[in-house]
Structure 1
Amino acid sequence: MPVLAEVGQHDLERSARILRARAGIVIGTHKHEMVARTLGLRTKGMGLRSVKEYLDHLEQNAHSPEWEAFVNAFTINHTAFFREQHHFDILAKFAQTRKKPFSVWCCAASTGEEPYTIAMTLRESCPQPDVGVSILATDIDTRAIERAREGVYSLERAQPVPEDYLKKYFQRGTGRHAGMVRAKPSIRDMIEFDTFNLLSANWPTDRKFDAIFCRNTMIYFDKPTQTRILERFAPVLKPGGLLFAGHSENFTYLTQAFRLQGQTVYELAER
């Protein structure tokens, strides 16, 4: 087993530059201990002797499978069902005012709690939700999207789901699956899951959305990157479309493309 060299300051700074260039994620200096531990584990996992060798491999191999593991290691999947309930109340009322097809993009879907909450909300608020109602759920973390696609959660994770929704939209596990629930096809089939990097050059420009959920994601980007992403959201929203942000995010001074409509909810400005 190779003996790992100490992770130096240069390695930390270099890894931060690489991560930022690839995924736009900014790692603060207060997370150096976590970064060093992650780099050590990834280096060891590849059988390399130094973090420098590991970072060399990434920079010299743009299509290496290790890129996926590297980015996944630094993504934070903090999410919950019906998180920030007022957003789903607004979405329900908004959906009732829009013509079909009605489409939502959840661009930081994590392990799926958010897109499934969107799906339940739309099933409850839209007449004939099986026709002309769709959700695109994406995330940069490939592992998180796989979990989201499976739609399996512990009862503890599903606790925020109202009991009547839990009965209507989830199957309870039995036997060795006791204590678990799985999203039923009635909401799973509404959602298209995929991996996507918000810094990618290839955006889903072939479709338009009525609403975009990008919550608690922009805080990991610097201001110029936030502005660039916001400007790219605008063309893929239908006129009057809504952008839902996280509770600690404020886009008011970053772009003229959106105007604040309510608490962390933005409306596409007229062009």
Structure 2
Amino acid sequence: MMNMEPQGGFSYSEADFRRVQEIARQEAGISLPISKRSLVFSRVSRRIRATGRASFRDYLDYVSMREGQEELKELICVLTTNVTQFFREKSHFEHLETHVLPQLGQKLRAGGRGRFWSAACSTGQEPWSMAMSIMAELPDALRMDLKILATDINHAVVETGRIGQYPGEEVQSVPQRWRDAYMEPVEMAQFSMAREIRRLVTFRQLNLNRDWPFKGQFDVIFCRNVVIYFDDETRNALWKRLAERLVPGGFLYVGHSERVDCIRECHLEAVAPTIYMKKG
């Protein structure tokens, strides 16, 4: 069996890489192409050192055991990619503010409920951006039955989002008036989400490819820049599950390089690039 020769102190074989590929696919639906093998070596090596395991084989045996299930979560964390920013893909937020929130506000003021889901929230900039858009368009949002659920498979980034504190350079894409209204400057040139807006958002760790511990439907789902890491079967299965969780007339926002291929089966209609509405 041929050994790869990346830098570092661990032997790394083709069989090791294939085992990581299978774990990533089974546990998170992530498809790791052969072009990622050096990246996998770099990231998994950090976990091998952190746990004091002797080799890739020893480490992968360990995470496959019952006693290694907590470390398996850490492995999935290092295999995921977390790239995000406030108000990323601005057209989505413009659509949310001009086409969705005014109509939803009428429903909420009439006693209805509003539910939003940031399905791959990373370090929290996406759901906090959603919250700021909501507060700006619906100033009485905190008196309404309105909630944002923010989830990610990576427990570490979920905790960062829950803490809701960001360096000054990361909040530059937030309009100044919203920074003043919804953020508070703290030490070390950082900004923290203000107390009131925190009431809108709940953070939870969640694997999108496993059972979801909630039953309700959503008016808005953001699931962006996630399915690019999945194979076609996993991708289409997730689109169908997400569509089932949209209320009729609800909206699904996907990443700029993504599209819903099974649009007919999902009962979705494309209303703008990367924006879909549930029919019915």
The TM-score with structure 2 as length reference comes to 0.90
User: Match of 1:188?
Assistant: 198
User: Match of 1:166?
Assistant: 179
User: Match of 1:80?
Assistant: 85
User: Match of 2:277?
Assistant: 267
1:161 alignment partner, SS class: coil
Answering whether residue 101 of structure 2 is matched by residue 91 of structure 1, we say: no
Looking at structure 1, the residues matched to 202 and 214 of structure 2 have their Cα atoms a distance apart, in angstroms, of 13
Structure 1 residues 167 and 29, CA gap change in structure 2 (3 angstroms): same
Q: CA RMSD in A?
A: 1.6
Equivalent AA in structure 2 for residue 140 of structure 1: I
5+ residue gaps, structure 2: 1-7
Correspondent of 1:56 among 54, 61, 70: 61
Query: For the Cα contact (< 8 Å) 1:75–1:141, is it kept in 2?
Result: yes
Looking at structure 2, the residues matched to 178 and 10 of structure 1 have their Cα atoms a distance apart, in angstroms, of 46
Query: For the Cα contact (< 8 Å) 1:119–1:187, is it kept in 2?
Result: yes
Looking at structure 2, the residues matched to 111 and 42 of structure 1 have their Cα atoms a distance apart, in angstroms, of 21
Equivalent AA in structure 1 for residue 122 of structure 2: S
**1:123-202 map, 5 Å:** 123-126=135-138, 128-130=140-142, 131-173=144-186, 177-202=187-212
Query: For the Cα contact (< 8 Å) 2:118–2:221, is it kept in 1?
Result: yes
Equivalent AA in structure 2 for residue 141 of structure 1: N
Aligned residue pairs total 264
Looking at structure 2, the residues matched to 224 and 32 of structure 1 have their Cα atoms a distance apart, in angstroms, of 22
Cα deviation for residue 62 of structure 1 reads 7.3
Looking at structure 1, the residues matched to 121 and 67 of structure 2 have their Cα atoms a distance apart, in angstroms, of 25
Answering whether residue 40 of structure 2 is matched by residue 27 of structure 1, we say: no
User: Match of 2:18?
Assistant: 13
Answering whether residue 240 of structure 2 is matched by residue 235 of structure 1, we say: no
Cα deviation for residue 84 of structure 1 reads 0.9
Looking at structure 1, the residues matched to 48 and 220 of structure 2 have their Cα atoms a distance apart, in angstroms, of 41
**1:251-266 map, 5 Å:** 251-253=260-262, 255-257=264-266, 258-266=268-276
2:233 alignment partner, SS class: helix
Answering whether residue 214 of structure 2 is matched by residue 223 of structure 1, we say: no
Looking at structure 1, the residues matched to 259 and 212 of structure 2 have their Cα atoms a distance apart, in angstroms, of 26
Q: Deviations over 1:155-187 (max 9, x none)?
A: 1000000111111111012xxx13110000222
Q: Deviations over 1:64-112 (max 9, x none)?
A: 2101110110111100001111111111231211222111000010001
The TM-score with structure 1 as length reference comes to 0.93
Equivalent AA in structure 1 for residue 232 of structure 2: K
Give the helix-richer structure, 1 or 2. 2
Correspondent of 1:248 among 257, 264, 268: 257
Q: Percent identity?
A: 31
User: Match of 2:3?
Assistant: none
Looking at structure 2, the residues matched to 50 and 12 of structure 1 have their Cα atoms a distance apart, in angstroms, of 13
Cα deviation for residue 208 of structure 1 reads 1.4
Equivalent AA in structure 2 for residue 150 of structure 1: I
Looking at structure 1, the residues matched to 195 and 262 of structure 2 have their Cα atoms a distance apart, in angstroms, of 41
Query: For the Cα contact (< 8 Å) 1:241–1:267, is it kept in 2?
Result: yes
Query: For the Cα contact (< 8 Å) 1:153–1:180, is it kept in 2?
Result: yes
* Greater mean deviation of Cα atoms: 226-235 or 196-205: 196-205
1:108 alignment partner, SS class: coil
Structure 1 residues 52 and 234, CA gap change in structure 2 (3 angstroms): same
